[in-house]
Amino acid sequence: MSADPQVTAAARRGWWLSAPALVLLAVGATGPLLIMLVYSFLEPGQYGNVEWALSFKAWFNVVMQRDIFDGTLTFADAHLSIFWRSAKLALLTTLFAFLTGFPTAWFIATRSPGLRTALLFLITIPFWTNLLIRTFAINQIIRNEGFLNTFLLWTGIIDTPIVMLYTDFAVFIGMTYVYLPLMVLPLFAAIDRFDMRLLQAGYDLYASRWQLLRHVIVPVVKPGIISGSILVFIPALGAYVTPRILGGGRNMMIGNFIELQFGQGRNWPLGAALSVVLLVVVSLALIVYTRFATGSEGKSHG
């Protein structure tokens, strides 16, 4: 059966109209990645930049290092610990953002339309402020002389300030605060479409609240959970500003380490190789997470 000429012409015209945007997206998205991939196979320049000579040294140095005295090979423990810290904090941030964002989104979605609009407005207010300013605000709250320690000292709960700044805990708190709206908004969109009559039906069948949450609510709002987790995990894994300000130089994450290679380290190939590794790790994590979510959803419907 031959296609309708008018439909074919309309489809072709649509492709031509969208071609400039597609080309721009292709160049803007894949161009920098290709540059990083090429740089990762080159020699580092003496004062930065690269020397156009094929080399696999950068990829070797991602996981291994050679002793400068006896030439023995050992694992690059510093690189591996930075990757582990980044993945751990990103996962903890995603988990805590979900645990706090889900009841928040549920509360907003079950309010009256007027109050719901006002609450959503409050959720989106942080996006109006620069990320750097928001991070400095957290800095002023948790530092030794900050609002939190001052309040605890004033109430007599503690005798000496609690050291929170420049720790993994500070980075975790900062990233949770920064990325929490990215979890709340997709969850709200999913819960807003939830048919509350399903809860009444579950209660009529003598289901407990836990059973309703596990077998009714979570499966229905799972697309929002997946979207929110992706929106939080990806930027948290490669975060730069928040770990730099709240973690200092002692609690470096992969984003800070990559910037260091392109800056003071003057080892662009290693920075490029680490960037490609980060991209691969994020892609694999997304594939595993989405397939696991899709598979569990299929089993629940089966």
User: Are 101 and 228 spatial neighbours (Cβ–Cβ below 8 Å)?
Assistant: yes
d(Cα 61, Cα 52) in Å, to the nearest integer?
18
66 beta partners: 73
CATH for 149: 1.10.3720.10
**Residues 27, 105: one domain?**
no
Instruction: Give me the domain span that covers residue 2.
Output: 1-33
Residue matched to tokens 């020397």:
51
User: Are 183 and 97 spatial neighbours (Cβ–Cβ below 8 Å)?
Assistant: yes
**Residues 222, 132: one domain?**
yes
Tens of pLDDT, residue by residue over 70-114, are 777 888 888 888 999 999 999 999 999 999 999 999 999 999 988
**Residues 9, 151: one domain?**
no
Counting the structural domains of the chain, the total is 2
Does the residue 109 lie in any domain?
yes
Does the residue 41 lie in any domain?
no
The pTM (predicted TM-score) of the whole model is: 0.84
Tens of pLDDT, residue by residue over 36-59, are 999 999 999 888 888 999 999 999
